[in-house]
Structure 1
């Protein structure tokens, strides 16, 4: 009976769950002293396909099947890349320049060195520099400035 366990603040758990919903994050974890709380939600590929299923009922039915057809292929196509793509290491918002109005970190055709910053991903109010995993030439930038990105999503292609 000598061990004291901290009480779980259900309001905090609800706030964390609300943050997940508002930001489209899949997981959030905090620590306060000896208390660690992790709130996560499962997001799977079938849920995206199910979300696309009601679209054929809309008046733009011919466009919906065309959009729905590539979606099942897209998750399979991303891992099939040659390894020259730089995947997002986290969920967040991608920024192509260090500050609004300044020059971008990289441009298509630019040569980069291993470790050079390619872009920044903001996650939980923290700016995370994304370094180049290899030296090479930027052949494609797959995200736009201020675009939300998912874990594993290809960001840049380096040849």
Structure 2
């Protein structure tokens, strides 16, 4: 199969232009998926570097290896660290939390969804900024 690098470059440019994390096109029996972390063509993932956007195979991660218990976002939306602007944050690094404690709010379609901790532990890292868009399954917090 011959891969048209121009299509990958164009899709990569769309990622930056429209602030996307992933884009996919399908033509006949060929499917091309480009994301900030990987390029996938016809169910095969290949490493590539396109337009200064480092793209790697999906089995590899561009992030450092994280140790601890990861808590992920249950929905797509905007993450908030506090119940309202200027209020005390739900969690801080070093704070001990219990399973079920609210760790963040994710706003989706004007609805504020409280995100509970799925484990007991001490907050090791908060992985998203206040007001940052998050995706389903994205790590938002790491516990020790």
Q: Tell me the TM-score range normalised by the shorter chain.
A: 0.5 to 0.7
Shift of 1:140: 0.3
Contact 2:24–2:34 under 8 Å retained in 1: no
Find the structure with the greater CA-based Rg.
Answer: 1
Cα distance in 1 between the residues matched to 2:24 and 2:72 = 20
Higher strand proportion, which one? 2
- Counterpart mapping for 1:7-156 below 5 A: 46-48=33-35, 49=38, 53=50, 55=51, 64=52, 67-68=53-54, 71-72=55-56, 76-77=60-61, 84-156=69-141
Q: Which residue of 2 aligns with 1:6?
A: none
TM-score between both structures, scaled by the size of structure 1? 0.57
SS in 2 for 1:47: strand
Runs (4+) of structure 1 exceeding 2 A deviation are 41-46, 71-78, 80-83
TM-score between both structures, scaled by the size of structure 2? 0.62
User: What does the per-residue CA deviation read over 1:13-46, in whole Å, with 9 as the maximum and x for residues that have no partner?
Assistant: xxxxxxxxx9x7x9xxxxxxxxxxxxxx969993
Query: Which sections of structure 2, spanning at least 5 residues, go unmatched?
Result: 1-17, 26-30, 40-48
Cα distance in 2 between the residues matched to 1:105 and 1:144 = 13
Q: 1:85 to 1:147 in 2, by over 3 A?
A: same
Higher helix proportion, which one? 1
Q: How many residues align?
A: 109
User: What does the per-residue CA deviation read over 1:58-116, in whole Å, with 9 as the maximum and x for residues that have no partner?
Assistant: xxxxxx2xx51xx42677448x8666100111110000000001111000000001100
CA RMSD, 1 decimal = 3.4
